[in-house]
Structure 1
Amino acid sequence: MPAEQILSNARLVLADQVIHGSLLIRDGLIADISAGASSLPQAQDLDGALLLPGLVELHTDNLEKHMSPRPGVDWPSASAVLTHDAQIVAAGITTVFDALSIGDINPKGKRMQQLGVMLEAIAEAEAAGQTRAEHRLHLRCEVSHPQCLELFRELVEQPLVQLVSVMDHAPGQRQFARMEKYREYYMGKYHLSPAEMD
């Protein structure tokens, strides 16, 4: 990257307005924002494209899908993190809170097995400078899971953990006030027999 770069003829999304203008980047930092197109020959013409700050994603289960892309398939964790990172950056996200669930409703699910593996893979990729987005962790604590508190205590001090949410998917309340709806939803979602659901 050059020491100085000028992005011109852009719609710059600022904190309180969108302006047609130019942006000067010096040593990787924004040095100046000005209205109008730059007349300097080294300016890169963005042809009126939007130029906005990087987006922050507070919750994504995207990494889980890369770890297990299909039933019975476990993808290498380092490759899964880098593929997830590439998709995040391609969407304009520069900071992502990767959601890791403590607890799983699906008896066939791999969330609990993959929890430590995902955390380690993200931490290693971040430490090695392999990610392009800034990765942080969002612990999703399923309070009805028997290991929730124990695992939370183990993980909460990890440096990348910066967001925690408490979830309660117990039947008979909130989204599943009626038990039959709870059964219907999870039997359909996870292809469970009535006995497995019991």
Structure 2
Amino acid sequence: MNNHLLTNAQIVTPACHFTGSIEIADGVIAAIHKNRTFKRGIDLKGAWLIPGCVDIHSDWLESELRPRSGASFPLPLALHFLDVRAATCGITTVFNTIRFCDEESESRTFEQAICMARQIDEVRHGMLLRHFLQARIGPHTDTLVGRLADLQALQSLRMVVFNDNIPGERQYSLNQRIEMGMRELGTSWEETRDRLLAQIQEARELNHRMVIYDAFKDKCAFGSHHDTTVAQIVEAGSSRSFLAEMPTTLAAARKAKEAGMWVSMDAPNYFRGRSHSGSLAAVDAMEEDLVDILCSDYHFPTILGSVVRMIDEGMAPNKAVNMVTLNPARLLRLDHEIGSITVGCKADLVAFRSERAFASVNSVWVDGVRKFTADYTGDVTSLGVHPDRSVVSKPDNAYPWTSY
């Protein structure tokens, strides 16, 4: 029986926080004891206890697959260490992003992207955490239309985000795209410009947003990526997107909130105080209360690190925690199962301490099973781990890579 008592913790619920205890029965939160601790059970010694972080957009897989230009590693290896790293950062639900488009500059073909998604689909139940897929789909290509059935068959696909691939219209200007293309393709400025102009003309003649929506409306949450203008937010809303993912301007973020959309920003942006690409700073959007969700984007540690920083800067702990737990769960319509410390929800939990303005994770539970634990007084207490504290305990059936 998967039954535990976690006691002497700073518990954060959707509405408040308090010192108390939690009972877990059969992997579900069975009781919450406010202002009460016990001599029995697992003593968390005053650590924060929050729901596991729900990360709706992670590009970390790309970092594991290609940590250096020209250096590639197998998908099984990349997935294993992605899973491990996410656990040590307090994330219990991960949406791995895969981009589906047929641009020349992409590192993989459409077929290779589908193959990678299928492999993740096959092994995800043997991993430490909950793994899902977010498909970043360029709506301005005919390639996708003939492959919709392949994407529909992916059990883990729960998010579709329109990733507009018309060069020069979103995060990067046309000149920036030309410079990027020159580096990626090794072509001259004129040749790269001509290629991009041809892509722009072709893309503007195609828009399969509603075809994509009809294909996935019964299984996926929809969003729009890197909206820059008010018109782009209006287009996103007309194609049934209810998430503005990392808008690049305040105007776009304001329009999204006005339209009743969720707005997500990347945690590295907030933690660093600015965007790495010069786009909208998350702190500026948060000053106007425009941000509902923070995701890890390209850096797992900052998702929980941002919670620590928000609390340190005066935000109520429940509001800060909700941005990486309950709000993304609500977006995904999974809040009846995950995203909050509520009786009846799955016991996906994280215990951590705030140290030097970031989060030191002590323990992570998924379905009430402890997947990661580290004693930061000097001992690592996890199964089969290395003494460098890159630690994760795993069930006997984890990582069935022999099928590859």
TM-score (norm 2): 0.43
Q: State the Cα distance separating 1:163 from its structure 2 match.
A: 0.9
Alpha carbons of structure 1 residues 158 and 65: separation in structure 2 relative to 1, 3 Å: same
Indicate the larger mover: 110-119 or 87-96: 110-119
Q: Quote the residue 1:118 is aligned against.
A: 116
Alpha carbons of structure 1 residues 27 and 108: separation in structure 2 relative to 1, 3 Å: closer
Aligned counterparts of 2:187 and 2:9: Cα–Cα separation in 1: 56
Aligned counterparts of 1:97 and 1:154: Cα–Cα separation in 2: 19
Q: How does 1:11-22 map to 2 (within 5 A)?
A: 11-22=10-21
Q: 1:141·1:152 contact (CA, 8 Å) conserved in 2?
A: no
Q: 2:102·2:143 contact (CA, 8 Å) conserved in 1?
A: no
Q: Quote the residue 2:43 is aligned against.
A: 45
Aligned length: 192
Q: Quote the residue 1:28 is aligned against.
A: 27
Q: State the Cα distance separating 1:31 from its structure 2 match.
A: 1.6
Q: 2:7·2:37 contact (CA, 8 Å) conserved in 1?
A: yes
Q: Quote the residue 1:171 is aligned against.
A: 167
Aligned counterparts of 2:111 and 2:64: Cα–Cα separation in 1: 15
Q: Quote the residue 2:252 is aligned against.
A: none
Q: State the Cα distance separating 1:153 from its structure 2 match.
A: 4.1
Look up the equivalent residue of 1:80 and give its one-letter code: A
Aligned counterparts of 1:123 and 1:16: Cα–Cα separation in 2: 35
Q: How does 1:1-198 map to 2 (within 5 A)?
A: 3-40=2-39, 42-103=40-101, 105=103, 107=105, 109-110=107-108, 112=110, 114-126=112-124, 129-176=125-172, 179-187=174-182, 190=184, 192-194=186-188, 197=192, 198=195
Q: 1:140·1:165 contact (CA, 8 Å) conserved in 2?
A: yes
Look up the equivalent residue of 1:89 and give its one-letter code: A
Q: State the Cα distance separating 1:167 from its structure 2 match.
A: 1.5
Q: State the Cα distance separating 1:171 from its structure 2 match.
A: 2.5
Aligned counterparts of 1:180 and 1:4: Cα–Cα separation in 2: 59
Aligned counterparts of 2:109 and 2:21: Cα–Cα separation in 1: 46
Aligned counterparts of 1:16 and 1:149: Cα–Cα separation in 2: 44
| Fraction of identical pairs, as percent | 28
Report Cα offsets for 1:45-96 as digits up to 9, x if no partner. 2121111111111111211222233333332222221211111222222111
Alpha carbons of structure 1 residues 172 and 64: separation in structure 2 relative to 1, 3 Å: closer
Could you list the structure 1 runs, at least 4 aligned residues long, displaced by more than 4 angstroms after superposition: none
For structure 1, the 5+ residue unaligned runs are: none
> Greater share of strand residues, 1 or 2?
1
